[in-house]
Amino acid sequence: MVTKDQVNQALHYIIEPTLKRSIVDLGLVRDVVIRDNSVSLTLVLHPESNVEHYTAPLNKELQEALARIGIAQPHIRVRTMTEKELGDVQGKQEAQAPDNAQKASQQPIKGHGAGLEKLSLTHPDSGVEFIAIASGKGGVGKSTVTVNLAVALSRLGKRVGVIDSDIYGFSIPDMMGIDVRPEQVGDKIKPVERFGVKVMSMGFFVEDNSPVVWRGPMLGKMLRNFFSEVEWGELDYLLLDLPPGTGDIALDVHQMLPQSKEIIVTTPHATAAFVAARAGSMAIRTNHEIIGVVENMSWYQHPSLTERDYIFGRGGGGKLAETLHTDLLAQFPLGAPDNHPLEPDYSPSVYKADTEMGKAYLELAHAVIAKCGQ
């Protein structure tokens, strides 16, 4: 059953036309009643926000936002603030200086008339294609797939960002050979760019590879900061390297980005594919499109031999794709890039474009672009 928190999260990006702030941050979503997965609520508008003019477009925005969490026919009432409510809202604005995340929510949103210019990164109409890379268990090469897919998309001319969402087990900076930290530019953080990919990771903010000892709500807050406080610029794709399994971060991503698509990574081993099906099931239950399965470590082939050794078995990726009613996008062998530490662009995990694996990841990138319709 849908919760009030899920309703608020779904409506968070919607902006009050006059106050230019999130209707949720301002407390303008009132009288929320949830019964049997149906929702009724009241939206309160500033007196200068002409109710007759804005009711229809706002109703449409609210209905579309709630539909993404499974609410098909919400009952929505729109009314103008009373003088007391207006005073309360103005007092709240004066008493609480907005933090960076709130400033981001104040960015104008298209659809409410003149002077509204920029869509927030997570807005469904921002034009950014979000792709979460998920797995059922660790050790299947999910992060390797993430970084090489991101670099391949960049090589095809796409504007790409990566969020290392595995906050406990961050690895993207090391895998990409990044040894610098993000810069502060004004009130925003500028992501580190490597191989044409913009990267943000918890690893940039941890000293000496120290462990992160946080509970779920703190993880979710950090992830929201990666969206609201980072100056991503123009992006075509933003890849999210999820932690394995179906824990807090994966759930937060599904709630924050109802428009996100998903790629499931597994090995051919039957048990790994069985566990990966849980991550796929979570995506299906939250109405996220699974664009395909990537089978990693499909075989090992010694450079001097022609035969392949299927050391983890065969068929797991294909069976998983069949179970999830999606496509098997790629099968990659067990191996690592033959990169030398003294090379100027050294990275432990990124394949060069002219290698066999580099070309294989370009094929995966082409398949992803076709799936996303871009």
- On whether both 199 and 311 belong to a single domain, the answer is yes
pLDDT at 214: 45
What is this structure's pTM? Answer: 0.67
Confidence of residue 246 (pLDDT cuts 50, 70, 90): low
Q: Which of 105, 137, 160 is the last residue of a domain?
A: 105
- On whether both 304 and 365 belong to a single domain, the answer is yes
Containing structural domain, residue 33: 4-105
Residue 146, CB half-sphere, CA atoms under 13 Å: how many?
33
Q: Which of 105, 139, 164 is the last residue of a domain?
A: 105
Highest mean pLDDT pick, 1-10, 160-169, 193-202, 225-234: 193-202
CA–CA separation, 77 vs 59, rounded Å? 9
3-state SS, one letter per residue, for 257-325: CCCCEEEEEECCCHHHHHHHHHHHHHHHHCCCEEEEEEECCCCECCCCCCCCECCCCCCHHHHHHHHCC
- On whether both 91 and 162 belong to a single domain, the answer is no
Residue 116 domain-assigned (yes or no): no
- On whether both 221 and 81 belong to a single domain, the answer is no
* CATH number assigned to the domain comprising residue 97: 3.30.300.130
- On whether both 67 and 194 belong to a single domain, the answer is no
- Does residue 90 register a pLDDT over 80? no
- Does residue 39 register a pLDDT over 80? yes
- Does residue 251 register a pLDDT over 90? no
Confidence of residue 195 (pLDDT cuts 50, 70, 90): very high
Q: Which of 105, 139, 167 is the last residue of a domain?
A: 105
Tally of residues, the chain: 374
Domain count for the chain, please give it. Answer: 2
Residue 294 domain-assigned (yes or no): yes
- On whether both 158 and 86 belong to a single domain, the answer is no
What would the pLDDT profile of 46-86 be if each residue is shown by its tens digit?
A: 888 766 667 777 888 888 888 888 888 889 988 888 888 88
Among the listed residues 154, 250, 234, the one whose alpha carbon sits nearest the alpha carbon of residue 194: 154
- Does residue 338 register a pLDDT over 70? yes
Residue 16 near residue 51, CB atoms below 8 Å: no
- Does residue 363 register a pLDDT over 50? yes
- On whether both 90 and 210 belong to a single domain, the answer is no
- On whether both 87 and 228 belong to a single domain, the answer is no
- On whether both 168 and 90 belong to a single domain, the answer is no
Average pLDDT, the chain: 81
- Does residue 373 register a pLDDT over 50? yes
